[in-house]
Structure 1
Amino acid sequence: MPSPMVDDAREIKEENPFESMMSRFDRAAQLLDLDPDLYAVMRVPNRELKVYIPVRMDSGRIQVFEGFRVQHNFARGPAKGGIRYAPDVTLDEVRALAAWMTWKCAVVNVPFGGAKGGIVCDPQQMSQGELERLTRRYTAELIDIIGPEKDVPAPDMNTNEQTMAWVMDTYSMHARHTVTAIVTGKPVELGGSAGRREATGRGLLFVINEAIKRFKMTPPQTRVVVQGAGNVGGTAARLLYEAGYKVVAISDIHGGIYNPNGLNIPDALEYLRQTRSFEDYPEAEQVTNQELLELDCDVLAPCATENQITSHNADRLKCKVLAEGANGPTTAAADSILHEKGVFVIPDILANAGGVTVSYFEWVQDRMGYFWREDVVNQRLQEVMVASFNDVCRYAERHKVDTRTAAYMLAIDRVAYDTRMRGFYA
């Protein structure tokens, strides 16, 4: 019997996002019989930058923050990826997320490579002024490696439209002219795209719509559990509710609520907005985030954070469809368990690609100085998400693999083709 120390080591490895990403990449590359030279190039990032950011705090003292930017791949176009602020950001996490962005862009056939950034900080303990000074200095540190043709940042965990406006302004001051295409996820008034804020949640709705057709179900028959009530989870829950789905549970970081007859999602989200918690919500029973994942449902949509479904709880899931709104909510070690249970997985690199798709639309609109109506944005998003869902399903059927492996294979195949055609400059 393994010792507790060995078990702990396995768990740490299982929940390392870079290890999960690489194990899936390796499996897909092997099934594709990827050329060893291409494998050697594609498995590593193009560039990793680590910076130390001195910021004058409101107290007058200087505090030095650690920041990262990883640019994984440029074969298909400029790098693209968000910036997250969190106390537990690590280089491994940022490295994994950058690679995920490469595969995500390739799955939906958007001409970007992958990147990601992060700063180790606790934004809940910082003032608006401190966050602005942190953002501007971080942008200045990245100034030589970002740009509309190089690397286009976006919001991520604990960053938002205001953060992107600061990045855009700082970059524009250095460029000596306004450069709206340097970031996406900006306010509409500063060159942002209509529909961008809801894009990830809306994209999730579109692929869930396609997935339930495979089970000959309709929205009113479909019970949905959503983990997370932020921009992705809250938006997805509301849009699913408006589309006629029976959303039976939803949660935030503190815990969730469950009503087997269905929740009034607009009412529940308004309660959360007012009280900052689902605690004591009168129309449902309380559940923990762990209990929520194991509720009986047709569609489970983890839209919170990484490593929620692991080898320890995957066998207790009771959903037919797992729609991954978050990045990396399922560890690689859980994949085989879900496959054996017959769970239909819409993998994160497809399910939550609505955000990067509309980010691409925003970048295009900024570069041509002409902006689309929201209904046009949503229609084009639907076309991309439905086509990409069908591409992945066809790939899975043709190669006789699960949908996650198919999504990775499709993405790697596309990036490998472009890399091979471009050749290696030496």
Structure 2
Amino acid sequence: MSEQISFFENVNKSFDKASKFTKWPQGLLEQIKAANSVLRIRFPLKRDDGSLEVIEAYRVQHSHHKSPCKGGIRFSENVNQDEVMALAALMTYKCAIVNVPFAGGKGGIKINPKNYSEFELQKITRRYTSELIKKNFIGPGIDVPAPDYGTGAREMSWILDTYMSMNPGMIDAMGCVTGKPVSQGGVRGRTEATGLGVFYGVREVCNTHKLMDKIGMPVGVEGKRVIIQGLGNVGFHTAKFFRAYGAKVIAIAEYEGAIFNENGLNEEEVLKHRKETGSILNFPGATNFEKSGDALEADCDILIPAALESVINQENAARIKAKIIGEAANGPLTPEADVILNAKGVVIIPDMYLNAGGVTVSYFEWLKNLSHVRYGRMEKRFTENMNKQILGQIEDLTGKKVNSTERAFIEHGADEVDLVYSGLEETMISATREIMDVWNSHPDIPDMRTAAYIVAINKVGTSYDELGIFP
């Protein structure tokens, strides 16, 4: 039996495949690949019942070609050093592709948060933060964590409070972490950012005439049949935006099973059903799949794995019927699956940039914290007043009046969430086009993932080169 390749080795395997299409010397490529700093922590936790437990945790700063490092903190029993290193590497490449001026970082605490009380989780989070502070692994200009699997705005607010208490008087302290509650310096639009970014990225691919002609599909997302695996934050919001823009979400899969309705599913009603019954199964009007994995193999146009790693692999890849796969999760396809699906002509939109909506909006939050001004505060009313004046002049000149709906739209001045959505849309469209241009630039570039890595390697390599580290 062959030895299983680690997640970090898989990332480096994709890196090596792409690096052949770049100009950088081998020494620089090795530096880009390397995880620069790895912090492994052990600390004691006194449980509510008085017992002691040793907690294992990590923080990896993959690259220092830019400052600060950026990446989420996950709470999971599966956390290990290899996984955190791989995710930190993907963050380096992800930030480069979407032109966010961060280097890659990642953190993890090896726990199942469901097994701990809120007070215990708070103690774990605060102690972890204090360890990061002591080792200089957190700060608005050093390393900026964010939510990930098993964490959210609550944990980020605990990190912020701990950091501020240990750095009194630091004016930019709010920028030490992103994904915070809006009342604690967070930004509107952060919750749905990753799912919305997935939608924008897939939509732009679907708007590419040459590619759609190649795979025999009409341009645009309207009317396309979508299957979503995972109804967590990312999967839910991806489904929401696809439905809002005219696509049909025909199947949703979760760990307890999957449901199908060829006329489309409403993700909000499915989520409500799950909260009431504890399962998405037996949703009114839908058919149950025998196994959750069966949904991945159902006939559809677009498949969005938005939950776990390696769900599409050597075993099931040949049975996948989707023509486009959008990797909303981290690493949902194995390298072996890539080979099989690429041979079938399936377009795989890679995770390393497609799920960059979270870090993009985290960047907006970080900028907001450093500028100490809410987006839209300076110009919203001015824009609305100006639009009212312009509309009034046009109505006077033409003698015609617009209806109330049109008036509200034209007069509206952008507030924070409008600007965040607009910035995210611009980011995902620009990144998609840049990757597509590279993919089309050389006949030997086999797929979109390789093209994305080439874009990332060239940007990180240029940063190192301009720093003069490798004269």
Check whether TM > 0.5: yes
Counterpart for residue 193 of structure 2: 199
Instruction: Name whichever of 311-320 and 130-139 sits farther off.
Output: 311-320
Query: Could you give the per-residue CA deviations for residues 23-53 of structure 1, whole angstroms, max 9, x where no partner exists?
Result: 0011111221431110221111110000002
1:338 Cα shift?
Answer: 1.4
Counterpart for residue 60 of structure 1: 50
State the SS of the aligned residue for 1:221.
Answer: coil
Letter in 2 for 1:152: V
The 1-side partners of 2:463 and 2:433 are apart by 22
| 1:119-138 equivalences in 2 (<5 Å) | 119-138=109-128
1:93 aligns with 2:97: no
Query: Could you give the per-residue CA deviations for residues 365-401 of structure 1, whole angstroms, max 9, x where no partner exists?
Result: 1000112210111011101110100000001000232
Query: Could you give the per-residue CA deviations for residues 274-321 of structure 1, whole angstroms, max 9, x where no partner exists?
Result: 333212222211222211111110000000021111122111111111
Equivalent position to 2:175, from 154, 157, 181? 181
1:425 Cα shift?
Answer: 8.8
1:44 aligns with 2:34: yes
The 1-side partners of 2:24 and 2:305 are apart by 31
Counterpart for residue 362 of structure 1: 365
Counterpart for residue 279 of structure 1: 281
The 1-side partners of 2:35 and 2:424 are apart by 28
The 1-side partners of 2:283 and 2:30 are apart by 53
* Long gaps (5+) in structure 1: none
The 2-side partners of 1:344 and 1:390 are apart by 15
1:408 aligns with 2:400: no
Counterpart for residue 418 of structure 2: 375
Counterpart for residue 226 of structure 1: 228
Equivalent position to 1:393, from 436, 456, 462? 436
State the SS of the aligned residue for 1:68.
Answer: strand
Counterpart for residue 29 of structure 1: 19
Counterpart for residue 159 of structure 1: 151
Alpha-carbon contact 1:21-1:332 (below 8 Å) kept = no
1:72 aligns with 2:74: no
TM-score, normalised to structure 1, is: 0.95
Alpha-carbon contact 2:464-2:470 (below 8 Å) kept = no
Alpha-carbon contact 2:59-2:105 (below 8 Å) kept = yes
Alpha-carbon contact 1:219-1:246 (below 8 Å) kept = no
Counterpart for residue 212 of structure 1: 206
Runs of 4+ in 1 over 6 A off after TM superposition: none
Letter in 1 for 2:307: A
Cα root mean square deviation, aligned: 1.4
1:325 aligns with 2:328: yes
The 2-side partners of 1:114 and 1:276 are apart by 37
Alpha-carbon contact 1:66-1:119 (below 8 Å) kept = yes
* Long gaps (5+) in structure 2: 213-217, 376-415
Letter in 1 for 2:53: Q
1:111 aligns with 2:77: no
Query: Could you give the per-residue CA deviations for residues 247-299 of structure 1, whole angstroms, max 9, x where no partner exists?
Result: 00112222221112211222112212333321222221122221111111000
Identity among equivalent positions (%) equals 42
State the SS of the aligned residue for 2:264.
Answer: coil
TM-score, normalised to structure 2, is: 0.86
